[in-house]
Structure 1
Amino acid sequence: MKDASPQTIYLADYQPPAFLIDGVHLTFRLSPKATRVISRIRFRPNPDATDTTFTLHGQDLKLVNAQIDGADVSPTLTDNGLTCDVPDAPFVWDAEVEIAPDGNTALEGLYMSGGMYCTQCEAEGFRKITYYPDRPDVMAVFTVRIESDMPVMLSNGNPVGSGAGWAEWHDSWPKPAYLFALVAGDLVATSGSFTTMNGDDVALNIYVRPRPDEAKCDFALDALIRSMKWDEKVYGRAYDLDIFNIVAVDDFNMGAMENKGLNIFNSSCVLASPTTSTDADYERIEAIIAHEYFHNWTGNRVTCRDWFQLCLKEGLTVYRDQQFTADMRSAPVKRIDDALDLRAYQFREDAGPLAHPVRPASFVEINNFYTATVYEKGAELIGMLKLLVGDDPYAKAVTLYFDRHDGQAATIEDWLAAFADTTGRDLTQFALWYAQAGTPEITVTDQFDNGTYTLTLRQSLRDTDDMADKQPMHIPVAAGLLASSGAEVVPTTVLELTEVEQSFTFDNLTEKPIPSLLRGFSAPVIIKRQQTADERLFLLAHDTDPFNKWEAGRQFASDMLVGMVRDDAAPDARYLTALTGLITDKALDPAYRALMLALPSQDDTARALADAGHAPEPQKIYLVHESLRYAMAEHMQDRLPQIYAAMHVAGPYSPDAKDAGQRSLGNAMLGLMTRLDGGKQASAQFAQADNMTQQMSALRALVAQGHGADALAAFRTQWAQDRLVMDKWFGLQAVLASPEHAVATVNMLTQDADFNWKNPNRFRAVLGGFAANAAGFHAADGSGYALLADWLIRLDPVNPQTTARMAKAFETWPRYAPDRQAKMKAALQRIAHTPELSRDTAEMVARMLKG
């Protein structure tokens, strides 16, 4: 029978599973077109269940046979699973199904990537492998037998046997089906070992395709070992199996997956070498390796009860990987990077039609809620909680959480209860962060009277489709006060804003201070305060908080860009002079100085204009940004060659923070120099580069200034056989194409023989790069919107997940003038009206059209 149209699922409707599982045995007889999956599952009724119907999820499966306690049964089949009459007692379910991995282009369930079998089961991919209660609160011990002629056969847990054409794995830790993994292929391993703090020896393997990938695993292995050490030192968490395997896969919708004992990674998040990977690639690999490893406790040993609790595992694990990167590299730079990402993606979600709470109240397709709100804002909530309770109470509460819920599927309430019980604090109001969508705005006024300084903070949170008249949040606002001399008269103090409006007083001051608010970006909020350009320049020069020092320059630049767009104003010479002083300040970390030079994005300027009531004009924004960068280059031209030379890194390449920071500042100088010298220095660096960071930075500088034709051709000749490097080649051209040529450039790239649109990495490089090219994508004639819509319509039946995520390029349509709005809406409506549109994309587009 055909199922009805997709139904909305609500958190409030949660019911415990009807049946629990005491053990799972799976046999896979692998074949590209006709894999047989034989399951034996020991079920028992759940005494806590209210609905006792035996229902198993299943999708795109061919049922060969089914038995209960050895007797044949004939279940009722639907498009989404089956139901069957079962005993009111424990029983054994046997089933055999047939699936076709090589036809699975959605990359969910069991599929093939370049001749290798691999799986992706989060969130609901296991139902494409066999019939099963595919929900995170059903946890079981798995034993898996793989039968194949592939030389390497892997699954979760520890190996328990192997022979000619078979291998068997057993995972003694109960897990939900979304953590199941299987890989079989012609693979080689880079191996190492680790001895845990408990004295247990763990074998470590990173499996990749032979030549040349096997030479690119050393950094990932080192990052894994450092992650294991860090988690023991900082969180007291040791690894718990005899073996930890990572496999690199070319066709993967995401970055990586934390399956118990067998992490599956997008190749781009594992493979690294100095000649093929940039400093940014190395840092990303390090962070993702850590993130997936940290999931072993925050996601695997303690998982989420239902998908509404996704932020429980993802927000906490993102926070942990942020801590790790801050310890491995520069904490101030990491905090700024995190804030930049949050504002670029999560604030944008909060401000538009895709706004949703950190813990959504409902969904149609859970794949659409793997968002910046769940991940990055979810991480901010962990950071706020730690700031509010303190470091030691945080550590004790997390330990209590692990002790209480090890082996369980938990909820946000369970997480907060561990903190309430440890600290005695009432976190009822703090829990609103999980339930109320949107970015809080804090309006600040101040007064100085007779030695007393008063800060008054007033919070507001806009209505969203799901909720109006929201309650005030519990917001930690870290603040310090500076004297006119630049001295800090009040060190960082956390002000706890819990009312709609509150005042905070500081006594015994001799003059009105300059406030430094939201230090360290202590909460994911927007501060609104009347602040002069002079005050921002003062904080840029004197603030002792690295984040707010950077923020002062960022806000000055943002206001200046808005004025240049709106009023045709000229660049402010004071800003250019201040930047010149900063980049020459040897007391500052080079990576931090490079961040100081980075302007707000064109999208940031568009958002700022829209917030001020002005419809953004993307092409004018582009020209203004170019004008300001040219002014920076001219103003600093006497200093640029000196700093560029001083940042040269001698000796063998290292991706460590020190060398990477120097290259970052040096290449920022190169980008400015190229605006003045016609590409002379960039061409020299491109020709002489012995690592990808220097080569790619030179290529970027040349392409950005229209001097890149010869370098692009040489780069392609050199790297044509390296798929990941070629992703960079494709992406660079799409994102840097001039506005008037962007659509033509992308059309040319999509017609290139090496453009494999079914590979998520290559599709994202070209079409994702184009969507990030603001002035090109927002071409006045709507051709950019039509181009992206055409490709999304083509991709949707092949890979719905990637399509739905890429469709978010249209989410900002409400901010533009009516003519551009109409063109963006027309593209969205054309996608929406596509016959047999996937559930993933249909939900995403429908939410955006509600605008």
Structure 2
Amino acid sequence: MRTEQPKMIYLKDYQAPDYLIDETHLTFELFEDHSLVHAQLVMRRNPERGAGLPPLVLDGQQLELLSVNLADQPLTDADYQLTDSHLTVQPKSETFTLDTTVKIHPETNTALEGLYKSSGMFCTQCEAEGFRKITYYLDRPDVMSVFTTTVIAEQHSYPVLLSNGNPIASGPGEDGRHWATWEDPFKKPAYLFALVAGDLWCVEDSFTTMTNREVALRIYVEPENIDKCQHAMTSLKKSMRWDEETYGREYDLDIFMIVAVNDFNMGAMENKGLNIFNSSAVLARAETATDAAHQRVEAIVAHEYFHNWSGNRVTCRDWFQLSLKEGFTVFRDSGFSADMNSATVKRIQDVAYLRTHQFAEDAGPMAHAVRPDSFIEISNFYTLTVYEKGSEVVGMIHTLLGAEGFRKGSDLYFDRHDGQAVTCDDFIKAMEDANGADLSQFKRWYSQAGTPRLAVSEAYDAAAKTYSLTFRQSCPPTPDKVEKLPFVIPVALGLLDGQGAGIALRLTGEATAGDTSRVISVTEAEQTFTFVDIAEKPLPSLLRGFSAPVKLSFPYSRDQLMFLMQHDSDGFNRWDAGQQLAVQVLQELIGQHQAGQPLKLDQRLIDALRTVLSDERLDQAMV
């Protein structure tokens, strides 16, 4: 039982680890009433931390220490210090090995964190700090190691023995037991460790990478679910191809595995090469699952696969940087789903969810920045702000730099930091360096909580043929900060003429007119943009594609909303205008009912819907 009081942890107090673990060799002996974990850690002093040999403090919880050897020498009780949460030893040299054996009890681990047994199967969940419940370790994401894992169990009950990496050896043991050894050649932090042992059935396939490497694909499920895996397998292969084509990221191991477990306390987990899913996130059969269920499986499979690069090969330095892997990967899986299905409908779904749930989080007592400054318990920050708003922040970088510039930045990020644990600042720096851009003010999106408000007003000068839009941004106080500095808000927009056609846009001072849709950056508390050569007063289409996670206000009339719904070339804004118009009409009908008046439906909503329904050129899913 832990006795110490929880304490606040601050980002500003981050320090690199005193020691590093180059190699981790694990042997698990699994039994029905306990398990033994033998760990050999090949360690060295971290050169970043200077000279000297400070004590080595390892994390550990709910472990029974049976033996500890330092540099092949057994230690007695007097040679180390043991508490509820740490094992402390004193190294004698800058490089050394540490061997420990501990007893743990997966069969009574109801927290489903660390190694646990449920429904006759052994399984792990180590993010964020579950590995310390398996063995004594430096359980922090900036300690990355190469893992070799041997699993030993009774063969009849546990015929399948899995861990991270590639299988390198297996065989029979004594007394009806057997063993399997897995080697992961890529450095990873302990939170990405995985182990599964059980009686599982398997669906197999293969994938040929862009360099003609053959990768074995396996989805393991409990026997009753074997007929519900094909859609997940198809989704996996689509994800692998899309990541090659869109980000240039090739899968790196000889085998990729998904295990679907009925008793899993998260939706899914991206453990290197061995993703563990709750069964509900994998299983779908055409006869019984809806289109939405199929799309959900496709998206979750893609999300966890994409983590192989954005989270595994390049991981986060500390848990304050959680959005570095999660926000970026949500952005990546959203792009995949948009390409696989209707891009407009995917954007509508994402924004509707953000407005309904994340905006509420921003407005409540738990409001926090995408990169928080402090936490007591890291599990409290697996939030919509870190994931969904974090994705929107990455999306704004994509909008500001363009698709080509963003790809250059992501290529540099992956190449520069492969095998490293890094920060949100490192991600921004790669985007800046690849594009010669300055995103220093943009980084406020990572440090300031709350949903910005963007009020827009217009002015048209018929004689000068100029049209001006004035933007005023503000952000309400949040528990962490009252005064907010101006954000960088990318606003995608267009101007429509009287026939609904887009007008070629040219700002004051620009030599030639450009496209009918463009992005402007609002960087000040109040800022005016003036367009020239505007022959008639236009109707602005603002925040196209919901180009920034803000609350936009513009005094649209019902006639203008109807016009946008009928003519806007941006599918998201057509939908959004329709939502606003429909809500106004419904509120009017409610008012009529409350006043005892006959109900009269505004014909403009009917006309706008008729236009949308009869336009066969439109995306049918959006319609």
Question: What range describes the TM-score normalised by the shorter chain of this pair?
Answer: over 0.9
2:487 corresponds to: 473
Tell me the distance in 2 between the aligned counterparts of 1:76 and 1:239: 43
Mapped to 1, the partners of 2:296 and 2:31 lie a distance apart of 35
Cα deviation code 1:203-253 (max 9, x no counterpart): 11000111x311111111111111111111111111111111110011122
Can you give the 5+ residue segments of structure 2 that lack an aligned partner in the other structure? 173-177, 505-515
SS at match of 1:477: strand
**Which amino acid in the other structure matches residue 219 of structure 1?**
H
SS in 2 for 1:465: coil
| Count of equivalent residues | 592
SS in structure 2 of the partner of residue 473 of structure 1:
coil
Corresponding residue for residue 573 of structure 1: 602
* 1:448-459 paired onto structure 2 within 5 Å: 448-449=460-461, 450=463, 451-459=465-473
Evaluate the alpha carbon distance shift between residue 332 and residue 37 of structure 1 in structure 2; reply closer, same or farther with a 3 A threshold: same
Kindly state the Cα deviation for residue 532 of structure 1 after the two structures are TM-superposed.
Answer: 1.6
**Who is 1:64 aligned against?**
66
CA displacement 1:526-564 (0-9 Å, x = unmatched): 101222222111111111110000000112233445556
1:345 counterpart SS class: helix
Conserved? CA contact 1:560–1:571, under 8 Å: no
Quote the offset at 1:576 in angstroms: 4.3
Q: Which moved more, 1:78-87 or 1:357-366?
A: 78-87
Which of 523, 527, 538 is residue 552 of structure 2 equivalent to?
527
Structure 1 pair 392–585 and aligned structure 2 pair: CA distance change class (3 A): closer
1:337 has 2:339 as partner: no
Asked if residue 558 in structure 1 is aligned to residue 588 in structure 2, the reply is no
2:209 aligned residue: 196
Any idea what the Cα deviations from partners look like across 1:639-696, whole Å, max 9, x if unmatched? xxxxxxxxxxxxxxxxxxxxxxxxxxxxxxxxxxxxxxxxxxxxxxxxxxxxxxxxxx
Check the 8 A contact 1:478/1:493 in 2, yes or no. Answer: yes
2:195 to 165, 172, 182: 182
Aligned match of 2:573: 548
1:160 maps to 168
CA distance in 1, matches of 2:403, 2:610: 38
CA distance in structure 2 between the partners assigned to 1:443 and 1:561 by the alignment: 24
With over 3 angstroms needed to count, the CA separation of the structure-2 counterparts of 1:562 and 1:371, relative to structure 1, is: farther
- In the alignment, is residue 461 of structure 1 matched against residue 475 of structure 2? yes
- Contact kept in structure 1, 2:589 and 2:600, CA below 8 Å: yes
* Alignment CA distance shift 1:73-1:463 (3 Å): farther
1:577 is displaced (CA, Å) by 4.7
Give TM-score scaled by structure 2 length.
Answer: 0.92
Q: CA deviation at 1:57?
A: 1.1
In structure 2, the residue matched to 1:92 is: 97
Equivalent position of 2:378 in the other structure: 366
Tell me what 1:610 maps to.
none
Distance (Å, rounded) in 1 between the aligned partners of 2:436 and 2:615: 46
Secondary structure of 1:317 counterpart: helix
Distance 2:612 2:94 in 1: 73
Deviates more, 1:558-567 or 1:571-580: 558-567
How high is the TM-score relative to the length of structure 1?
A: 0.68
Q: Which residue of 2 aligns with 1:698?
A: none
Q: Tell me the amino acid that sits aligned with residue 466 of structure 2.
A: T
Residue by residue over 1:816-843, the C-alpha shift from the partner in whole angstroms, topping out at 9 and shown as x without a partner, is xxxxxxxxxxxxxxxxxxxxxxxxxxxx
- Contact kept, 8 Å, 2:589 with 2:601, in 1: the verdict is no
Q: Give the letter aligned to residue 36 of structure 1.
A: L
Contact 1:389/1:423 (<8 A) preserved: yes
Q: How does 1:601-616 map to 2 (within 5 A)?
A: none
2:309 maps to which residue? Answer: 297
In structure 1, what is the equivalent of residue 511 of structure 2?
A: none
1:229 paired with 2:241, answer yes
Corresponding residue number in structure 2 for 1:245: 257
511, 519, 523: which one pairs with 1:494? Answer: 519
Give the structure with the higher percent helix: 1
Tell me if 1:352 matches 2:381: no
Q: Distance in 2 between matches of 1:320 and 1:281?
A: 20
8 Å Cα contact 1:162-1:168 kept in structure 2: yes
Secondary structure of 2:470's counterpart equals strand
Aligned residue in 2 for 1:391? 403
Aligned to 1:101: 106
Give me the whole-angstrom Cα distance separating, in 1, the residues matched to 2:264 and 2:453: 38
The structural deviation recorded for 1:32 is 3.7
Letter in 2 for 1:127: R
Contact 1:314–1:374 at 8 Å: present in 2 too?
Answer: yes
The one-letter code of the counterpart of 1:428 is: S
Alignment of 1:721-760 (within 5 A): none
Q: Give the 3 Å change call, closer, same or farther, for CA 23–499 of structure 1 in structure 2.
A: same
Partner secondary structure for residue 442 of structure 1? strand
- Hey, what's the Cα distance between the residues in 2 that align with 1:557 and 1:373? 29
Q: For the residues of structure 1 that align with 2:480 and 2:356, how far apart are their CA atoms?
A: 23
How far residue 580 of structure 1 moved from its aligned partner, in angstroms, is 4.8
The structural deviation recorded for 1:587 is 3.5
* Residue pair 1:3, 1:80 contacting (<8 A) in 2 also: no
> What SS does the corresponding residue of 2:151 show, helix, strand or coil?
strand
Q: Does 1:79 align with 2:84?
A: yes
- How far apart are 1:470 and its partner, in Å? 1.1
In 2, are the aligned partners of 1:113 and 1:249 still within 8 Å (CA)?
A: no
Name the residue aligned to 1:129.
134
Tell me, which stretches of 5 or more residues in structure 1 are unaligned?
Answer: 594-851
TM-aligned CA deviation for residue 367 of structure 1: 0.9
Distance 1:137 1:49 in 2: 14
2:391 corresponds to which residue? Answer: 379
Q: What is the distance in 2 between the residues matched to 1:251 and 1:349?
A: 29
Name 1:589's counterpart in structure 2.
619
Give how far 1:318 is off: 0.9
Whether contact under 8 Å (1:30, 1:146) holds in the other structure is yes
Q: Is the Cα contact below 8 Å between 1:462 and 1:468 reproduced in 2?
A: yes
Aligned partner of residue 135 in structure 1, secondary structure: coil
Q: Is 2:28–2:38's contact at 8 Å kept on the other side of the alignment? A: yes
Shift of 1:254: 1.8
Q: 1:210-289 to 2 correspondence within 5 Å? A: 210=223, 212-289=224-301
1:3 Cα deviation (Å)? 3.7
The answer on 1:18 being equivalent to 2:48 is no
> What amino acid is aligned across from residue 609 of structure 2 in structure 1?
L
The equivalent residue for 2:513 is none
Letter paired with 1:162: S
C-alpha distance in structure 2 between counterparts of 1:333 and 1:421, whole Å: 34
- Does the 8 A contact of 1:137 with 1:409 survive in 2? yes
**Contact preservation (8 Å) 1:32, 1:112:** no
1:421-820 equivalences under 5 Å are 421-449=433-461, 450=463, 451-490=465-504, 491-562=516-587, 568=594, 572-574=601-603, 575-593=605-623
Superposed displacement of residue 565, structure 1? 6.0
Q: Structure 1, residues 167-220: CA drift from partner, whole Å, max 9, x if none?
A: 11111101000000000000111001112112211111000111x311111111
The answer to whether the aligner puts 1:151 opposite 2:159 as a matched pair is yes
- Give the number of the structure whose residues are more often strand, by fraction: 2
Instruction: Report SS of the residue matched to 2:49.
Output: coil
